[in-house]
Structure 1
């Protein structure tokens, strides 16, 4: 099944957490639309690279410019099969937009697949959709997730339609679990024939 997915973006979204799922989900045949409030198709958001170097928290450096391929004010959540919410610094202010919170609520009200990573669950907490859930987030966001009524887990967790993870090192497991929730079947072609000597 090919899914049509919506991805929430904003300035200083985490570089790996937007680019890796954006490309990986397309690589397996899904259509992914990246949107940001107040920006249009072709506009860019700046990304931030969060690196873990043994400090008490991550180190942040400037990442790439990520080009949006859809306009948030022109998309309808009802047209999408799933939602991806990356982390970084963007979630702390994206959660102040009513259209972002309404979009998130739509996916939960209709039990559509949602993947959130790192600081992304800050948006879910603000939307009021974590009550009674089990989930994960960047450890510094644990208090917010728990205050929103969610049981926090250390690692990657799937709870019904929701797949959450702590940070980009979790990508392989996080994306794999999201693909399972989406019902994605990946078929590989036949192995190439051995060349004659």
Structure 2
């Protein structure tokens, strides 16, 4: 899981805990930070305004050092949304990691604004991608087809599982687990 300061709180905490709950090891990393350090999160809420509101979230403790991870050692990738993707997409190592997972056909779960990272990594051309509606132009400009899913729906296109925002967690995570378990079964 690649996170950064002001990643969306629920989109960070929930997949991190849920995937561990069902038996997966989740290494949470952030460029420029080490295990034991933390990122600040932001809570995005839907309160009837023209866009989401933002409130300060929790301090999320990283359990792995970014500089030490090798994408080759992992079976899946989780990319939370929030504000972090807008600058994580500028990090060459983040983009290389995303390209590794996409190129190897490994499972990728991206939610909300994480589509910005997918677009910057140039891995969504010809793919169907759900994301927060404000990211639709970036999906389309990167050659993907934006899927305007309900806020509670995840969407799977092969190894890529996407969703519009944290209300989609149950469906998004369920779809990601199907893709991840199939990948692990195929590995033997």
What's 1:180 paired with? 178
What's 1:107 paired with? 101
Instruction: Specify which of 160, 163, 173 is matched with residue 165 of structure 1.
Output: 163
> 1:183 deviation in Å?
1.4
SS in 1 for 2:120: helix
TM-score by length of 1: 0.89
> 1:35 deviation in Å?
0.2
In structure 1, C-alpha distance between the alignment counterparts of 2:135 and 2:110, rounded to whole Å: 13
Greater per-residue helix proportion: 2
**Aligned pairs (5 A) from 1:56-135:** 56-135=50-129
In structure 2, C-alpha distance between the alignment counterparts of 1:36 and 1:66, rounded to whole Å: 11
What's 2:16 paired with? 22
What's 1:48 paired with? 42
> 1:121 deviation in Å?
0.9
TM-score by length of 2: 0.94
RMSD: 0.7
Unaligned regions of 5+ residues in structure 1, if any?
A: 1-6, 185-197
Greater Rg by CA: 1
> 1:29 deviation in Å?
0.0
Structure 1 position 12 matched with structure 2 position 6: yes
> 1:174 deviation in Å?
0.1
Unaligned regions of 5+ residues in structure 2, if any?
A: 183-188
> 1:132 deviation in Å?
0.3
What's 2:132 paired with? 138
What's 1:192 paired with? none
> 1:157 deviation in Å?
1.1
